[in-house]
Amino acid sequence: MRWRGLKTFALMAAAMVGTTATDAAAATLTQVASFGSNPGNIQMFEYVPANLAAGRPLVVVIHGCTQSAADMDDETGWTKWADQYGVALVFPQQQAANNSSKCWNFFVKSDFQRGAGEPLSIKQQVDWMVSHHGSDTSRIFVTGLSSGAAMTNVMLATYPDVFAAGAPLAGVPYKCATTVGSSLMCNGGTVTKTPAQWGDLVRGAFSWSGAYPRVSIWHGTSDLTVNYGNLNETMEQWTNANGIDQTADVSDTVGGFPHKVYKDASGNARVETFSITGMGHGQPVDPGTGAAQCGSATGYNLDVNLCASYHIAQWFGL
């Protein structure tokens, strides 16, 4: 009887977000062939739990170099949270014609500006999702790994009117690089600026008088591909953009890893950082069926007994 009661509760909870446990399990990663003028010449994939009600959140998930949309859905845990929380997902996918390593061109002028290139293509994908699935425009979020993290910062800086929050993992700050050569310097951790200088780059991306997105920043301390020092530079950029200082209001551990939170004068968390001690280049996962577990240890998804997408989903308020 207890099992039946739990099952009934689960089905009722699923119905509250416009889907059922059976319908949600039937969702698949699907390509959308046409979504706009697509100046960045990228591809679009969506994952939408069946019978998802309108007015639900939308999360943009951006892969890293050499990856594809299919590397970021189940493997990172995002499809689990989409099914569980009733959330639509959109996965932009880079093409080798744009970058031979399928990296995002966050260091190319047309691809780090609002209204052009890859950022506009991603924005058009968001618009398509809103139009076709009725996604809540006040709850649109973006996350990405490596070059996808760099593009996450591009989207947050160039479209602060679109995204409520973001989560870059193992990336570099917005406009850290403006050439191929400088992108290598950024990855190596040799580009440093003051918080005000970093913040000015964000403020210069778009004339915006509203609140900037909240940002959750993740990085492995042993990352040999994108230097761990970029976590601090990214933190300085988004704390300054959010008008707060660089002194953490909370310093604790989550899953045994250092975690810091930076709050505004009203006590609202605006920026947080996760330093994954000993982890290399990738996204933290914690394979298993537990409530806070997710993903699989494949490619750049690294099993450190902590599911990044779960904690990012909490940061987004899903």
Non-local (6+) Cβ contacts of 183 within 8 A are 106, 107, 172, 176, 177
Cα–Cα distance between 229 and 194 in angstroms, integer? 14
- Indicate the pairing of strand 165-169 with strand 250-254: unpaired
Both tokens of residue 52? Answer: 């998802």
* Half-sphere exposure for 11 (CA within 13 Å, toward CB): 8
Confidence at residue 206, expressed as pLDDT on a 0 to 100 scale: 98
Mean pLDDT for the stretch of residues 9-27? 41
Residue pointed to by tokens 């993903």: 295
Q: Would you place residue 27 in the very low, low, confident or very high pLDDT band (cuts 50, 70, 90)?
A: confident
- How many structural domains is the chain composed of? 1
Q: What is the mean pLDDT of residues 23-37?
A: 83
Looking at residue 296, the DSSP 8-state letter turns out to be: -
Q: What is the pLDDT of residues 143-174, one digit of tens each?
A: 999 999 999 999 999 999 999 999 999 999 99
For residue 26, what pLDDT band results from cuts at 50, 70 and 90? Answer: low
The Cα angle at residue 150 between residues 279 and 29, in degrees rounded to 5: 85
Decide: 271 and 235 in contact? Cβ < 8 Å: yes
Token duo for residue 62: 């951006």
Encode pLDDT of 80-104 as tens digits: 999 999 999 999 999 999 999 999 9
* Residues acting as catalytic residues: 146
Residue 55 in this model has a pLDDT that exceeds 60: yes
Tell me the average pLDDT across 114-136: 98
- The CATH code of the domain that includes 307 is 3.40.50.1820
pLDDT tens-digit readout, 253-312: 999 999 999 999 999 999 999 999 999 999 999 999 999 999 999 999 999 999 999 999
* pLDDT (average), residues 42-46: 98
Rounded Cα distance, 21 and 15, in Å: 8
- Range of the structural domain that residue 162 is part of: 2-316
Q: How many CB atoms lie within 10 A of CB 116?
A: 16
State the burial class of residue 39 (Cβ atoms within 10 Å of its Cβ: 0-12, 13-18, 19+). Answer: middle
Rounded to an integer, the average pLDDT of 204-223 is 98
